[in-house]
Amino acid sequence: MSANLSESLEPPRVGATLQSLRQAQGLSLDELSRRAGVSKSMLSQIERNQANPTVAVVWRLANALRVELSELLSGEKPAAPAIETVASHATPSLASPDGLCVLRILGPIDLAGQFEWYELTVQPGGALESAAHEPGSREHLSVLGGELEVSAGAISQALKAGETARYAVDGPHAIRNRGSAPATALLVVLHP
């Protein structure tokens, strides 16, 4: 009987529920921190179950997420939404050291290393140069605007808007903008 009593005295763990709700709404820790008036470090600790929030903090978080207090306290991950939306500002991006190439990471992180897709913007003179991926990997580059040149091994191919190149990337490869205008493309990477 005492085991049941001690289990019922443990505060609910809201970390996984908080993280799921935040991500489902496309909110960064910074944005939720601003909305709820709770520090980013506290939010991070709550999500990792390293801190138990007070009732006042849970109430502010529930209001900021526009959910019932009981949903946040349930300790259960909410069902995945029928349509998950990621806000533009919440889409991570990577820039080349010279800033001439930017990759917006469009694919979910749980597919990284299997199936990845990006929006690529390359300024004139910019190049996205890559080392070999694992054997059997392929890229698919669809140019949306401007012109790009793809090199895979010793072969290069110029691409105009509307064209797609598919090529092996188990050796060094590059995407370059040799034109005078910025170019944009969708880049899909398939790993074996």
Please report the beta strands in the chain, taking only residues with DSSP state E, as ranges in sequence order: 93-95, 101-105, 115-122, 127-130, 138-145, 147-152, 155-160, 164-168, 173-176, 183-190
Q: Is pTM beyond 0.85 here? A: no
Running DSSP on this structure, what letter comes out for residue 110?
G
Say how far residue 174 (Cα) sits from the centre of its chain: 23
Running DSSP on this structure, what letter comes out for residue 181?
S
Tens-digit pLDDT profile for the chain (192 aa)?
444 444 455 666 788 888 888 888 888 888 898 999 999 888 888 888 888 888 888 888 888 888 888 887 776 655 566 777 878 888 889 999 999 999 999 988 777 778 899 999 999 999 999 999 999 999 999 999 999 999 998 999 999 999 999 999 999 999 999 999 999 999 999 988
Yes or no: say if 133 and 188 are a contact pair by the CB < 8 Å rule.
no
Yes or no: say if 84 and 94 are a contact pair by the CB < 8 Å rule.
no
Specify burial of residue 96 (Cβ count, 10 A radius: 0-12, 13-18, 19+). middle
- What local confidence, expressed as pLDDT, does residue 108 receive? 82
> Which two structure tokens, joined as six digits, stand for 119?
């929006």
Taken in order of first residue, the domains within the chain and their CATH numbers are: 2-73 (1.10.260.40), 91-190 (2.60.120.10)
Residues 116 and 131: their CA atoms lie apart, in Å, by 16
- What local confidence, expressed as pLDDT, does residue 62 receive? 87
- What local confidence, expressed as pLDDT, does residue 1 receive? 45
